[in-house]
Structure 1
Amino acid sequence: MNEHNPRSTAKVAGHPLHPMIVPFPIAFLVSALATDIGYLNTGSDGWATASMWMLGAGISMALLAAVLGLTDFLGDRKIRMHRAAWLHMVGNVIAVAVAAVNFYLRATGDAAAAIAPAGVTLSAAVVLILLFTGWMGWELVYRHRTGVSEEPDMASARVETRR
């Protein structure tokens, strides 16, 4: 990997793991908002149950993504030099904390009753935070080239020479 780019330290066969995992918590936590809205529109307890599952899965996968992201963050000083890395990390910690409060409110009471208005508000807040932290993640990869290899992939190079 080019010495100029910040490198990912949590990787397998040169492939950074953090960007492979982050779509899962994002999808689960956005789905929690969607299922909350489904509950508000129908009043069906199935939507409330689905929201609990989406929050639980989102928090679980976010914790895994956090371990991998923290490994990258601590593994290369160049990553820590970027303001976007700090905003990405702190924002995601806040998003997971808000999701955990949302899950707790539902788990300790009536899950359906916890949706309106607190649950759906917390779910929407998490989605808004994820939009911001996703933007910061974009900054890290596409502007600062974090985890991007500058070395040509030999298989791709062979295909290019055949054209």
Structure 2
Amino acid sequence: MNPKSTLSIAGHPIHPMLIPFPVAFFVGTLVTDIVHSQSDNPFWPAASNWMLGAGLVMAALAALAGLTDFLGDDRIRALRDAWLHMIGNVVVVLIEAVSLWRRLVQGPDFIVPTGLVLSLLAVALLLFNGWKGWEMVYRHRVGVKDETGNSAR
């Protein structure tokens, strides 16, 4: 049998249902940072802060689901891709948490250039982490029904 997803609804793993949200919020933060770098409108730094905050909340939820799967099946923990995916996502969350904290302390002046660079770094890491998540599903078949038709829940 394929490695199973411990946390699922009707056979559908929850972790992949949640991860688009923090990814979208963190990419949105990069976009609003870029727009802020070209504009003096105070809306854009505020939008970046809200994007970061929402991204961190959703990342925490996705991390809980992912960690439940990671701890729930020894075969997942044995995968190098699973470790790289998890560590990479922890790094992204730390980068974004530090970025939000510094933005709240220093204000909009932090965004250009440091906040913008941190947003760009986080999005670049998300590409790597997404690739590793893809490897887990499509190469290692984590959370995918096995060939006998049995659910990998």
Range into which the TM-score falls when normalised by the shorter chain: over 0.9
Any residues of structure 2 matched to 1:72-87 within 5 Å, and which?
Answer: 72-87=69-84
Cα RMSD, aligned residues only: 1.1
| Local SS of the residue matching 2:141 | coil
Confirm whether residue 64 of structure 1 aligns to residue 64 of structure 2.
no
Q: State the TM-score, normalized to the length of structure 1.
A: 0.89
Confirm whether residue 124 of structure 1 aligns to residue 126 of structure 2.
no
Which protein is bigger by CA-based radius of gyration? 1
Confirm whether residue 49 of structure 1 aligns to residue 56 of structure 2.
no
C-alpha separation in 2, matches of 1:145 and 1:44:
47
Q: 1:40 aligns with which of 37, 40, 47?
A: 37
Confirm whether residue 90 of structure 1 aligns to residue 87 of structure 2.
yes
C-alpha separation in 1, matches of 2:40 and 2:75:
50
C-alpha separation in 2, matches of 1:71 and 1:128:
25
Q: 2:96 aligns with which of 74, 96, 99?
A: 99
After the TM superposition, which segments of 4 or more aligned residues of structure 1 sit over 3 Å from their partners? none
Percent identical? 53
C-alpha displacement at 1:109, in angstroms?
A: 2.1
Partner residue in 1 for 2:131: 135
C-alpha separation in 2, matches of 1:37 and 1:97:
21
C-alpha displacement at 1:122, in angstroms?
A: 0.5
Instruction: Tell me: higher relative CO, structure 1 or 2? Use CA pairs within 8 A at least 6 residues apart.
Output: 2
Return 5+ residue gaps in structure 1 as ranges: 154-163
C-alpha separation in 1, matches of 2:54 and 2:116:
17
C-alpha separation in 2, matches of 1:136 and 1:15:
19
Confirm whether residue 113 of structure 1 aligns to residue 109 of structure 2.
yes
C-alpha displacement at 1:24, in angstroms?
A: 0.2
Q: State the TM-score, normalized to the length of structure 2.
A: 0.95
- Indicate the larger mover: 84-93 or 39-48: 39-48
The letter of the residue matching 1:14 is G
Return 5+ residue gaps in structure 2 as ranges: none
Confirm whether residue 23 of structure 1 aligns to residue 20 of structure 2.
yes
Deviations 1:50-69 (A, max 9, x none): 00000000011000000000
